[in-house]
Amino acid sequence: MNIEIKRKYLYDFFKPVSVVTEECLLKLDKESMKVSEVDASHVIMIESELSKNTFETFEVKDEYEIGLNLNKFLKFLKHGSKNEVVNIELIEEENKLYVELTDELMELDLPLIDTAGMTEPNVPDLDLPYEFEIEKSGFRKIVRACKSITDHLEVSIEQDVEGKSIRISASEDIDRVSKRFDTEYTFKGSGDDTGSRSMFAVEYFDSMSKKMPDTKITMELGEHYPIKMHWDFSDGEGKSTYLVAPRIESE
């Protein structure tokens, strides 16, 4: 197995995964590269896939499952430039990946992790009633503001003076911060459009918004259900999805 790809596309693929885990089960076949992981607390899950069309070279003649030390891999990639081509070769007889930054002439021999204990999570098929799209930059700003006052935030679709609005907010004692997103939503539910609200831990949203690429994020929401966030990257050849469980509100 030998692949070559620009560093920026590898970053867009792997950085969101690093929110969930430091070690991942990387799958490759003749068509794409994939990762599906859940964190140790089973609060956040990610699925990510990148088509072979993104790669400069994609010599994958079989199906592979690779145990990757993601933390060490990403630290090495930091030494390269955004558009630098990264060469990755599987050396099966030595149970390692050979990684080369082709401009910097830097090389990494990365031993593989045993995949025996690694399994793909069962991703729930959720039919969430609300869907809307926001810019990552605005999402990141309100998450940071929420983090400054408390450890939880609320994502809601509610009625206000301007009609139904999408809002992310947080409050603690008398402190409150809120952002209204000037975007329309799609209601896909079978009942009435009565709005929705769910609470989530700020720490997960902070990590996710930091690692997402700068693009539009599609969110799907339901009352007290996990929130789904997904986006395209690499000129539409890649797609990543986060699924985050809500925080249980105390009575």
CA distance linking residue 111 with residue 195, whole number of Å: 50
| 209, two tokens | 């918004």
Residues in CB range of 139: below 8 A, 6 or more apart: 168, 209, 217
Q: Give all strands of the β-sheet with 44-51 in edge-to-edge order.
A: 64-69, 23-28, 32-38, 44-51, 238-244, 227-233, 216-221, 130-135, 185-187
**What pLDDT does 120 receive?**
86
Do the bridges between strand 106-111 and strand 32-38 make them parallel or antiparallel, or are there none, so unpaired?
Answer: unpaired
**What pLDDT does 119 receive?**
85
Q: Which residues pair with 74 in a beta bridge?
A: none
Q: Name the band, by pLDDT with cuts 50, 70 and 90, for residue 249.
A: low
**pLDDT tens figures, 40-91:** 999 999 999 999 999 999 999 999 999 999 999 999 999 999 999 999 999 9
Task: Examine the pLDDT at 146 and tell me if it is beyond 80.
Answer: yes
**What pLDDT does 125 receive?**
87
Which residue is associated with the tokens 């204990």? 117
CA distance linking residue 26 with residue 78, whole number of Å: 20
Closest CA to 97 of 107, 89, 105: 89
- Give me the count of residues in the chain: 251
Average pLDDT over the chain, rounded to an integer: 94
* DSSP-based three-state secondary structure for 53: helix
Task: Examine the pLDDT at 178 and tell me if it is beyond 80.
Answer: yes
The alpha-carbon radius of gyration of the chain (Å, integer) is: 20
* DSSP-based three-state secondary structure for 90: strand
Domains and CATH numbers, the chain: 2-111 (3.10.150.10), 130-244 (3.10.150.10)
What one-character-per-residue DSSP string does 94-146 give? Answer: GTEEEEEETTTTEEEEEEPPP-TT-----------SEEEEEEHHHHHHHHHHH
**What pLDDT does 206 receive?**
98
Element (H, E) at 178: strand 175-181
Measured in degrees and rounded to the nearest 5, phi and psi for residue 8 equal -65, -35
